[in-house]
Structure 1
Amino acid sequence: MTTTATTLSATGPDLPVSPAPANPLTGKRRVAFASFVDENYLPGFLALLRSLALSNPNVCEDFLVLHDGLRPASVAQIRALHPRIDFRRVDAEHYDSYAKGDQDNYLVRKAYFILDIFRVRDYDTVITLDTDMVVLGDLGELLALRDGLAAVPQFFYGQHKLNSGLLVIQREYLSDAFCARLDEVGRAGTYELDKHDQGILNAVLDGDFVQLDARYNFVKRRLSGDLPVPESTAILHFTGRHKPWQGGEAGYREAEDRWREFELSDAEFHSAYVELPGAKHHDLLVHYGTPHVLRTGSPEAARKVAAAHIAAGEYQEAADLLGRVTIPVDESWPHEVLGHALMSVSRYEEARARLLLATASPNRAATAFARLAQIAWIHGDDGAAAEYALKGLAVDPTHRASRLMHQRTADAAAPVEGPASGQLAHVAFYMERQGNAGDKLLPESVRLAFGRDTGPRRWHSIHAHRLFDEAALERVNERRGLVIGGGGLFIPDTAPNGNSGWQWNVPDELLDRIDVPVMVYAVGFNAFDGQAYGHGRDRFLSSLRRLVERASFFGLRNHGSIEKVRELLPASLHDKVRFQPCPTTVTRQLVDGWTDPERREDTVLINAAYDRAGLRFGHDYGHFLGEMATAVRELGKRAEVRCVAHSLDDERIAFDLRREHGIALPVIPMYDFGNDEIRDTYARTKLVIGMRGHAGMIPFGCGTPIISLISHPKMAYFLADIDRPEWGISVHDRHLGARLTERAAGLLDDHAATVADVHGRQWELWKITEANAADLRVIQGGVPA
């Protein structure tokens, strides 16, 4: 692939100025496919959609259908073949002013309508496909393109001119300025009139485009004489007057046979997709798999679709679909998946029955036993949980979930607590050994905001993920208050349950019967871009509203979360939602006897997160890794660069940099650290570049400069709260490596001033925390901290 082409973006003295991304919060690229479709070319477009799904089963981006009018039946056919269709009517009259070779030919008139794609403003990358194409191979390389306007050079005209059947268009071309250039040439007629839209693009670009390999627009004319289609062909283009759905053309039998592979009924197509090996995109599998399951009743197909629902946090949908088919007793895998779905919506007895059936198969038994252990633990039965975990380990001694559950129950000895009347109850996510370092530190940090004593004498711990039952309610009501805090608890797919729809597993009726002050402290709304609550949304909304109504104090840890939560509440409750910074951001003020380090180590710590990687990186992980390699090499000239792993999975960046770019990074296993060691490590380094929320907030709270790698809205929310958005760079930034190097160098060059700035920003958060603390003391009846 040739990548030499200039772009339309302006360049400054240091780095090119890229167009503002379609998603200004995280910078995640919005990508779409697009075609112009009319009734004559509808059969070709339907075959194109089928071929795209069958050749790229793990790719599902929006598909823009440009049209000048389609029948309702045609619209229905198109929607049935793709879950993310967006119909957009072209401004047909706009192109009537263009000079054309044949003004009266309706096909000539419509040939210009695809140019309307340059008027799209809500995407960063658009891939256009002619409707006489079929996709035969992987398009990952096209989806990863970031620069210029890319196309395959014309077959007959050398390298200077492009074939417009396939275009990969970046955001700088989706602009008024580029549209004006198209209009100028089109109206003047200063182009090859018989080449229509392609002629205009070639006249405007004059060879300045990114040249793609011919396999991405392999024209039929290359196969004259019934030549076979090369195996490397990714997109086959049936150029010329004779289309396969119209009878085809002599001399191209091999090519037309490839097209007819995608001339399928809906039932044939759905079956072909579901039976494909390998990874499939959630949206496609649900869209095609659901009607296939309802038509066939296949337990195996239902399992696949239900597993896709579960991976997306759609637990009720998974339970509903698998519940509609008859699962033979000896088909363990569907029983295990249904058990997983049922326990995730708190239908625990039904889940137990399904999971016990699944234990009959050696291949599924360890996972089923681990889930049975989890159900027992949720209900407070540590003995049964330990037994199930041991059974899972007996089947598979390497089974991680069973091992972690066994460790959890082995460490379950209750601490010696002080008198109940002097305690606060504390609902939080209490992280086990080798768990996420940020989540490990959070509960203690929340408690420090209420006083120096964070131990069992003053605090009664309630794990958010255990079922809040009558016994738990009684224990809470014996205390002087209930604090809920310690993480981004408002998220649908971490420890799912059907009682609340968020992380605290509390039924409404028990929440209503809490009769001590309820204080929600520094909780975050942690949903990713594109992440939804599915059918559990109503359950979540009801529980959230009850919680806000019941709470004496309801503080969220950033203004972005406040805005999101207020959108879900009636206006009468908006004023109850207030700002309470995460206590980790004011660590220096909270930790008794804190002293700043006299000198810092000459290190830069880098953290990358890999949970929900698809939501974080989209198609850009290769780009991110390459840009990070550039930054690590440059920063390594100034300081020792190390990987700091909040969880075990965070070590992946060290492995990938070594494998792909030959860079060796020492790894700091922070998931193994105690809280004091976490704080000390962050306090002694010069700079932290982190992707996790608490890989920014914790070092900031320790007085250390930070740069956030933004792959989640919460990172941008925090930087907005401290009025330092320039301390964040999107993982999708086209020039991530250079920008990261430049900003890190700026912070390191004037390190003392940067540290002073961090302290000043922190002081503003501390003033808010102190003001809230005064209100909390009143709520608790003036009890001293």
Structure 2
Amino acid sequence: MSATTHPAPAAPPSAAALTGKRRIAFAVWADADRLPALPALLRGLALTNQTVCEDFLVLHDGLPEGAAQRVAAYHPRAELRCVATESAARLASWAKASGGAVEPGAFGVLEAFRLRDYDTVIVLDAEGVVCGPLGRLLTLRRGLAAAPYRPGGDAPGTQVLVVQREHLTDAFCARLDEVASQGAYPRERGAAGVLAQALALAGEEFVPLDPEGVFAAAEPDLQEAKLADSADFGAELAAFQARFMALSGAAHHDLLVHFGAPHAARTGDVGCARRVAAAYIAAGEYQDAVDLLGSVRIPVDDAWPHEVYGQALMSVSRDEEARAHLRLATASPNWAPPAFARLAQIAWVRGDDDAARELALAGLDADPTHRPCRQMLVRAAAVDGPAEQAGATAPAAEPADPREQLAHVAFYMPQQGNAGDKVLPEAVRLAFDPDPGPRRWHSVHAHRLFDEAALARVNSRRGLVIGGGGLFLPDTMPNGNSAWQWNVPDDLLDRIEVPIAVYAVGFNLFDGQSYRHERFRTALRKLAEKAAFFGLRNHGSIAQVRRLLPPELHDKVRFQPCPTTVTRHIVRGWRDPEQREDTVLLNAAYDRAGLRFGHDYGHFLAELASAVRALGSYAEVRCVAHTVEDERIAYDLRREHGVALPVVPMYDFDNDEIRAAYARTKLVIGMRGHAGMVPFGCGTPIISLISHPKMAYFLADIERPEWGVSVHDRDLSTRLTARAAALLTHHEAAVADVHDRQARLWRTTQQNAALLHSLGF
């Protein structure tokens, strides 16, 4: 291979493969006879299950032209899968074996058992209608569930099936084939008879479902919903979109966008546009929200759309326009508090702390309980940098010679913020210098606009370090200048004259998130070209970032572990505890809960309650909260399962207290990235509750994947209890193992430190 030839980077494992998140799909069998009824099924599904939007597979052996477009109009994740070459001969032979009692298409529902890319498949009769919530079906995890062939009967039907991974196998399909091809089943039941006999051969019983109020045979008027000519279809679709948007309550992002965006474009309905734009914003699709609200006329006195439009505009850094809309929103008592909070945020981002305080106070005048306004008031009064996090109330005096300082771009977390994010910036500094304070460091808050004054301050220092968190994330503090967490315009990045080190940054997209626009890719490339050192904190992040960079920049991206993972080596005077408390610290995270848990939160909570009870015989289990919201696990366990946990409010701790708490416990079971990395760095054994790919990335780097358990694991309690018990029972060996793996990360950190020193850091 020539020196200028670069192989394409290997595709990293999918996020679902890393988190164990269940892949769920609805499936129907449709042929030319059954297709006309399908729109009724899809309409009923959307109207009665507004918060549900999983893949919807239409299995078929050939459908009329235009069917795909019209089916897709009623579901944003519909997919037509033609199985003609695989199934036609098989279904024909089954029909022949039935002696003509069953036509081939009637067996088509059994083709769903041949799906291999899902963990749970909910099979519905294409000629039925969804008439109620399907939430219970989505939470089923074991067995083959079916509505009985006859009400109250003891044989499964095929009107509604919930099929788990253990039945989506070649072996079970071979059993179906054997039964159907021999005709050895009650032929009057057709496909349901084949399924019943296949289960009986294996000595299995089905899990009975009651379809009452959930699924029913379609009424005659619904059967008449034909795929008619384009004009009729367009009118029918428009009427349905209007009907869906008239529903109240929460709705899934994909459904809102799929039905609401065309409805708003067609009608100019401001309320609909506002609702869809809010869904865009929640998903990090800020430009889409701007485009949609910019396409409708918003009345001056309609405050809510102005507030949402202002949020969308500030998220793409169109601040002057955002201010205008947010000021209009402050005229309403209901929307004044959030509008003032956003106005305060714009002022703070632009470095005007006095204006930010005034605006936050105006919001608190409207609602003294409004938390975002109170948070902005605290932020505007805070001092950026780790010294503030340790309790300092004022910045230290400027050193005589700024050229002895390094500038440091990071997310500086205020008091009562995320405990892990408080520790991070100081840990980055300690990896460079034993003095993490303002004598040696100049703080640059990543979320503040990097303007001409900030550029001058950075260029007067001896170098710039960018690091302290998962900064490659689109939605914590969105901006249109870079589309990641450092709010830096391209032209100002170009004019930085001192060497730049990107240090232990993480690529922190959740399973289900993506960078949809090109802005991030171009900003990332510019940063990689500009940086003298480009280190990411796990190999998973390296793989993701390399896929977004041109081949000639791939080798520039290197592994630099998060410095929190080597805490014992970088904190001056560190001493391992002589004795540890007989405790286990449990952390759960609730930011972006839908992306973390999917439909499995109830399962997770029940399994965790069982594990906590079991672990109580080994040590006292306590809830450790990195944020105030993390305390929810203690509330939910007590309310739902009667399990009471004391709460450790780590969000109120300073950095030394955080490290001390993690060093003196015996085991940490954590869902946040730094509820794993920080205790590991303190020498404490860990188990990760995996709901984000970054947890699996870290465990892969230290070659201990068995220290992780997916929050979706069907046997979560059993696995978690066994692994925790082993670490507690053999605690000295577990601590030694942590120290050994930490030593490997420390060697990498030292090697990178030598390189950084040669670059002037």
Q: TM-score normalised to the size of structure 1?
A: 0.90
CA contact (8 A) 1:151 1:209 kept: no
User: Deviation at 1:764?
Assistant: 0.3
Secondary structure, in 3 states, of the residue corresponding to 2:300?
A: coil
CA contact (8 A) 2:303 2:331 kept: yes
| Aligned position for 1:569 | 549
User: Deviation at 1:180?
Assistant: 0.9
| Aligned position for 2:398 | 417
Taking the aligned partners of 1:102 and 1:621, their CA distance within structure 2 comes to: 44
CA contact (8 A) 1:32 1:62 kept: yes
Counterparts in 2 of 1:21 and 1:742: CA distance versus 1, 3 Å: farther
* 1:212 correspondence with 2:190: no
Q: Alignment partner for residue 223 of structure 2, among 245, 250, 274?
A: 245
Kindly provide the amino acid, as one letter, of the partner of residue 89 in structure 2: E
CA contact (8 A) 1:47 1:263 kept: no
Taking the aligned partners of 2:285 and 2:65, their CA distance within structure 1 comes to: 31
Secondary structure, in 3 states, of the residue corresponding to 1:363?
A: coil
| Aligned position for 2:521 | 541
* 1:160 correspondence with 2:154: yes
CA contact (8 A) 2:40 2:222 kept: no
CA contact (8 A) 2:396 2:439 kept: no
Kindly provide the amino acid, as one letter, of the partner of residue 43 in structure 2: R
Gaps of 5+ in 1: 1-19, 219-232, 249-261
CA contact (8 A) 2:494 2:530 kept: yes
| Aligned position for 1:64 | 57
Secondary structure, in 3 states, of the residue corresponding to 1:165?
A: strand
| Aligned position for 2:360 | 389
Q: Alignment partner for residue 486 of structure 1, among 454, 468, 477?
A: 468
CA contact (8 A) 1:99 1:193 kept: no
Secondary structure, in 3 states, of the residue corresponding to 2:756?
A: helix
Kindly provide the amino acid, as one letter, of the partner of residue 288 in structure 2: E
Taking the aligned partners of 2:15 and 2:411, their CA distance within structure 1 comes to: 35
* 1:79 correspondence with 2:79: no
Taking the aligned partners of 1:280 and 1:245, their CA distance within structure 2 comes to: 27
User: Deviation at 1:131?
Assistant: 1.2
| Aligned position for 1:500 | 482
Query: Quick check: 33-42 or 505-514, which moved more?
Result: 33-42
CA contact (8 A) 1:393 1:403 kept: yes
User: Deviation at 1:714?
Assistant: 0.2
Secondary structure, in 3 states, of the residue corresponding to 1:98?
A: helix
Taking the aligned partners of 1:344 and 1:21, their CA distance within structure 2 comes to: 28
User: Deviation at 1:40?
Assistant: 2.2
Counterparts in 2 of 1:97 and 1:363: CA distance versus 1, 3 Å: same
Counterparts in 2 of 1:563 and 1:115: CA distance versus 1, 3 Å: same
| Aligned position for 2:455 | 473
Secondary structure, in 3 states, of the residue corresponding to 2:335?
A: helix
Summarize the alignment of residues 708-719 of structure 1 with structure 2, pairs less than 5 Å apart.
708-719=688-699
| Aligned position for 1:53 | 46
| Aligned position for 1:14 | none
Q: CA offsets per residue over residues 688-715 of structure 1, 9 Å max, x none?
A: 0000000000000000000000000000
Counterparts in 2 of 1:152 and 1:22: CA distance versus 1, 3 Å: farther
User: Deviation at 1:238?
Assistant: 4.5
* 1:667 correspondence with 2:641: no
Q: How many residues align structurally?
A: 727
Taking the aligned partners of 1:377 and 1:25, their CA distance within structure 2 comes to: 37
User: Deviation at 1:196?
Assistant: 2.2
Taking the aligned partners of 1:198 and 1:363, their CA distance within structure 2 comes to: 56
Taking the aligned partners of 2:235 and 2:116, their CA distance within structure 1 comes to: 34
Query: Quick check: 402-411 or 447-456, which moved more?
Result: 402-411
| Aligned position for 2:31 | 38
Taking the aligned partners of 1:209 and 1:739, their CA distance within structure 2 comes to: 26
Kindly provide the amino acid, as one letter, of the partner of residue 212 in structure 1: P
CA contact (8 A) 2:536 2:557 kept: yes
Counterparts in 2 of 1:247 and 1:495: CA distance versus 1, 3 Å: closer
| Aligned position for 1:695 | 675
Q: Alignment partner for residue 19 of structure 2, among 16, 26, 32?
A: 26
Counterparts in 2 of 1:292 and 1:197: CA distance versus 1, 3 Å: same
Kindly provide the amino acid, as one letter, of the partner of residue 284 in structure 2: G
Taking the aligned partners of 1:195 and 1:774, their CA distance within structure 2 comes to: 74
CA contact (8 A) 1:374 1:405 kept: yes
| Aligned position for 1:10 | none
Taking the aligned partners of 2:715 and 2:299, their CA distance within structure 1 comes to: 54
Q: CA offsets per residue over residues 382-412 of structure 1, 9 Å max, x none?
A: 1111110000000000000100111111234
Q: CA offsets per residue over residues 454-493 of structure 1, 9 Å max, x none?
A: 0000000000000000111111110000000000000111
User: Deviation at 1:208?
Assistant: 3.0
CA contact (8 A) 1:21 1:124 kept: no
Secondary structure, in 3 states, of the residue corresponding to 1:398?
A: coil
Secondary structure, in 3 states, of the residue corresponding to 1:514?
A: coil
* 1:352 correspondence with 2:323: yes
| Aligned position for 1:373 | 344
Summarize the alignment of residues 624-643 of structure 1 with structure 2, pairs less than 5 Å apart.
624-643=604-623
* 1:398 correspondence with 2:369: yes
Query: Quick check: 272-281 or 716-725, which moved more?
Result: 272-281
CA-atom RMSD in angstroms: 1.9
Taking the aligned partners of 2:425 and 2:398, their CA distance within structure 1 comes to: 17
* 1:195 correspondence with 2:175: no
* 1:442 correspondence with 2:424: yes
Kindly provide the amino acid, as one letter, of the partner of residue 398 in structure 2: E
Taking the aligned partners of 1:733 and 1:271, their CA distance within structure 2 comes to: 40
CA contact (8 A) 1:358 1:364 kept: yes
Q: Alignment partner for residue 517 of structure 1, among 499, 503, 507?
A: 499
| Aligned position for 2:81 | 88
| Aligned position for 1:432 | 414
CA contact (8 A) 1:500 1:507 kept: yes
| Aligned position for 2:122 | 127
CA contact (8 A) 1:126 1:170 kept: yes
Taking the aligned partners of 2:214 and 2:398, their CA distance within structure 1 comes to: 66
Identity of aligned residues (%): 65
Kindly provide the amino acid, as one letter, of the partner of residue 243 in structure 2: A
Taking the aligned partners of 1:414 and 1:299, their CA distance within structure 2 comes to: 47
CA contact (8 A) 1:101 1:193 kept: no
Kindly provide the amino acid, as one letter, of the partner of residue 164 in structure 2: Q
User: Deviation at 1:658?
Assistant: 0.4
Taking the aligned partners of 1:374 and 1:614, their CA distance within structure 2 comes to: 26
Secondary structure, in 3 states, of the residue corresponding to 1:533?
A: coil
| Aligned position for 2:386 | none
Secondary structure, in 3 states, of the residue corresponding to 1:708?
A: strand
User: Deviation at 1:246?
Assistant: 5.4
Q: Alignment partner for residue 765 of structure 1, among 745, 748, 759?
A: 745
Gaps of 5+ in 2: 1-12, 227-232, 384-393
Taking the aligned partners of 2:624 and 2:599, their CA distance within structure 1 comes to: 24
| Aligned position for 1:148 | 143
| Aligned position for 2:169 | 175
Summarize the alignment of residues 333-344 of structure 1 with structure 2, pairs less than 5 Å apart.
333-344=304-315
User: Deviation at 1:135?
Assistant: 1.2
User: Deviation at 1:235?
Assistant: 1.0
User: Deviation at 1:21?
Assistant: 11
User: Deviation at 1:247?
Assistant: 11
CA contact (8 A) 1:377 1:466 kept: yes
Taking the aligned partners of 1:88 and 1:121, their CA distance within structure 2 comes to: 13
Kindly provide the amino acid, as one letter, of the partner of residue 166 in structure 1: V
Taking the aligned partners of 1:417 and 1:639, their CA distance within structure 2 comes to: 49
CA contact (8 A) 1:153 1:211 kept: no
User: Deviation at 1:417?
Assistant: 2.8
Taking the aligned partners of 1:361 and 1:688, their CA distance within structure 2 comes to: 47
Q: TM-score normalised to the size of structure 2?
A: 0.93
User: Deviation at 1:103?
Assistant: 6.3
Taking the aligned partners of 1:547 and 1:601, their CA distance within structure 2 comes to: 45
CA contact (8 A) 1:486 1:523 kept: yes
Secondary structure, in 3 states, of the residue corresponding to 2:103?
A: helix
